[in-house]
Structure 1
Amino acid sequence: MTGPTAAQVMVAATARLRAAGVPDPARDARILLAHAARIEASRVTLIAPEDLAPDIAERYEQLIALRVIRVPVSHLLGEREFYGRRFKVSGDVLDPRPETECLIEAAIAVPYQNVLDLGTGSGCILVTLLAEQPKATGLGVDLSEAACLQASANAVLHRVQARADIRQSDWFEKVEGQFDLIVSNPPYIALDEMQGLSTEVRIHEPEMALTDGGDGLAAYRQIAKEVALYLKPGGRVLVEIGPTQASAVAALFEQAGLQHIRVIQDLDGRDRVICADSIPLSGLEGRN
């Protein structure tokens, strides 16, 4: 007696995911079947008519059971794509998100030699910037030791480890020197907004990477307070923001003495990045 085909099992899994309220259940069922079978997702149609091997069926059942309780697909796969590269992820770090790619686009538009990434998490921003600029060096800091280990692993994965320094640090606490580019995707969700997040994000991603437990602006206040000390003359700072935070963060940067403050929108037209410059050396000389 033969068992169910891969197609039959995938249809049943899709129904379970749909009943659990999982968005796009057919897509997830397909991706997870490919992962269980250790094949590319594009090859699922090739095995669809075949009986599903017992070991694959068992792995698939475990994956679907976890997805039903809203464990993110990225955590089940152990990776997430960001700016054309795959990054290892886990529940210890924030998942790389497509909207953060507009920060990368803005950062690489101007040459840089050394980068500071505040709250590096998975390291996706720092590693991408180093991969895109082969002569650049960078420092990534994060309060979470687990995040530092994840970022270090991604630096090795993308062969930039010789140019990447990862340190456990509370913002600027263990940062030394000055940088021509400082970037950050800090926790910016206000505490009263947390309940509005999806179950996948609220339950399975690290809370400290999502919210400051207050109004969502604490990280920007801390960055603005010290960033000028760590920027080279004429250097740039780019931070990701929530779509309603542009004016508040811009005001903090203006108070910090930064200039040329501008707002960059994501592909959906929402405010997503604040970019500002330090005072160039000529401007500093003019103040003396």
Structure 2
Amino acid sequence: MLEPNSTIEQALKWARRKLTEHQISDDGMYDSAAIDSKVLLCGCLECEQIYLHTWPEKQLTIEQINTFHHMLEKRILGYPVAYIVGFRDFWSLRLTVSEATLIPRPETELLVELALDLSFDDSIRVLDLGTGTGAIALALASENKQWSVIGIDKNSEAVKLATLNATKNQLPDVEFIQSDWFSSIEKQKFDLIVSNPPYIEINDHHLTQGDVRFEPSSALTSGNNGLDDIRFIIVNSVNYLNHKGWLLLEHGNEQGGIVANLFTLNGFSNVRTECDLNGQPRVSMGQLNGLNS
């Protein structure tokens, strides 16, 4: 237990030690025990991390110590940090999260970067399939205010959450609609379709490990080989893309070759797969060649 009148510095050292003892850490690339400690304490104090570094000798109140203890206990049980503090930073945005949606991952920022690197006119129509918190849609809209961006999700709670995030991040023009993939947007055409769909096999052993244990399985799994939703999106997107429109999909690190082949088989050209910062194949993309548009 933290002693009464413990300082910010002492609280961080104690939390890091406790998380390390319980092996709440990644496999070497990051000191996630230290990172988690800082994020949790910021959530407790309702401050930014610079405050922790600026005022390390500031003493915590008994109420703050008790709250921090409660947060740490939940993290030791494996509960995701984002769910504990109620938000996750993604791109330049702070997004409210809930157990109704997948927690945005840093790897997904690659999809945003690739979309922004494409050559488009100033004003295009963008569709984000399975938007969840609205992370991808809002990140793209934040960089291109003139783009018309729609995010869809079959989960009504996700739609409400994404709309809330749009308001909080001052991006009210982004539209969020409840839709089971393309079902509610028939006859509409887009210049860019993006998605981080479910792509994990139903029986994958990773589903019993780490943060994903607490996340909705409907946002994670997709059939026996993890490709059901990806295949559906690629096959059907040709009916919703304009001439020379682009489709970008995030996928598992062992699915790049299969996904790229699905792009080619369904009339896409300029097909390529890009790796994330860990060197893992993460996003495949292709441009509709116009024969089906």
Calculate the TM-score normalised by the size of structure 2.
Answer: 0.88
Per-residue deviation, 1:200: 3.5
- Within 1, Cα distance between the matches of 2:285 and 2:22? 41
The code of the aligned residue for 2:164 comes to A
Per-residue deviation, 1:218: 0.3
Aligned with residue 11 of structure 1, among 6, 10, 13: 13
- Within 1, Cα distance between the matches of 2:69 and 2:169? 32
Per-residue deviation, 1:230: 0.2
2:120: which partner in 1? 111
Per-residue deviation, 1:59: 1.3
2:235: which partner in 1? 225
1:36: which partner in 2? 44
Structure 2 CA distance for partners of 1:65 and 1:231, relative to 1, 3 Å: same
1:153: which partner in 2? 164
Aligned to 2:193, what secondary structure does the other structure show? Answer: strand
For the Cα contact (< 8 Å) 2:238–2:292, is it kept in 1? no
The code of the aligned residue for 1:111 comes to F
Whose radius of gyration is greater, 1 or 2?
Answer: 1
Per-residue deviation, 1:45: 4.6
Per-residue deviation, 1:56: 0.9
For the Cα contact (< 8 Å) 1:220–1:252, is it kept in 2? no
Q: Which moved more, 1:49-58 or 1:221-230?
A: 49-58
| Structure 1: 5+ residue stretches without partners | none
Structure 2 CA distance for partners of 1:157 and 1:192, relative to 1, 3 Å: same
Kindly indicate which of the two structures has a greater share of residues assigned to helix. 1
Per-residue deviation, 1:75: 1.4
- Aligned length, in residue pairs: 280
Aligned to 2:234, what secondary structure does the other structure show? Answer: helix
Cα deviation 1:120-151 (Å, max 9, x = unaligned) = 11111011111111111122111111111111
For the Cα contact (< 8 Å) 2:100–2:216, is it kept in 1? yes
2:255: which partner in 1? 245
Aligned to 2:267, what secondary structure does the other structure show? Answer: coil
Cα deviation 1:6-47 (Å, max 9, x = unaligned) = 244443333332232211323322332232222322322555
Calculate the TM-score normalised by the size of structure 1.
Answer: 0.89
2:22: which partner in 1? 20
1:210: which partner in 2? 220
Aligned with residue 265 of structure 1, among 275, 283, 289: 275
- Within 2, Cα distance between the matches of 1:179 and 1:45? 46
1:141: which partner in 2? 152
1:61: which partner in 2? 69
The code of the aligned residue for 1:277 comes to Q
For the Cα contact (< 8 Å) 1:5–1:48, is it kept in 2? no
The code of the aligned residue for 1:192 comes to N
Structure 2 CA distance for partners of 1:45 and 1:101, relative to 1, 3 Å: closer
- Within 1, Cα distance between the matches of 2:35 and 2:208? 18
2:211: which partner in 1? 201
Q: CA RMSD in A?
A: 2.1
Aligned to 1:214, what secondary structure does the other structure show? Answer: coil
- Within 2, Cα distance between the matches of 1:284 and 1:244? 29
Per-residue deviation, 1:172: 0.8
Aligned to 2:149, what secondary structure does the other structure show? Answer: strand
Q: Which moved more, 1:195-204 or 1:106-115?
A: 195-204
Identity within the alignment, %: 32
For the Cα contact (< 8 Å) 1:94–1:121, is it kept in 2? yes
The code of the aligned residue for 1:53 comes to T
For the Cα contact (< 8 Å) 1:87–1:124, is it kept in 2? yes
1:171 aligns with 2:181: yes
Structure 2 CA distance for partners of 1:48 and 1:167, relative to 1, 3 Å: same
For the Cα contact (< 8 Å) 1:34–1:40, is it kept in 2? yes
The code of the aligned residue for 1:196 comes to H
Aligned with residue 129 of structure 1, among 131, 140, 153: 140
| Structure 2: 5+ residue stretches without partners | 26-31
Structure 2 CA distance for partners of 1:50 and 1:236, relative to 1, 3 Å: closer
Q: Which moved more, 1:109-118 or 1:125-134?
A: 109-118
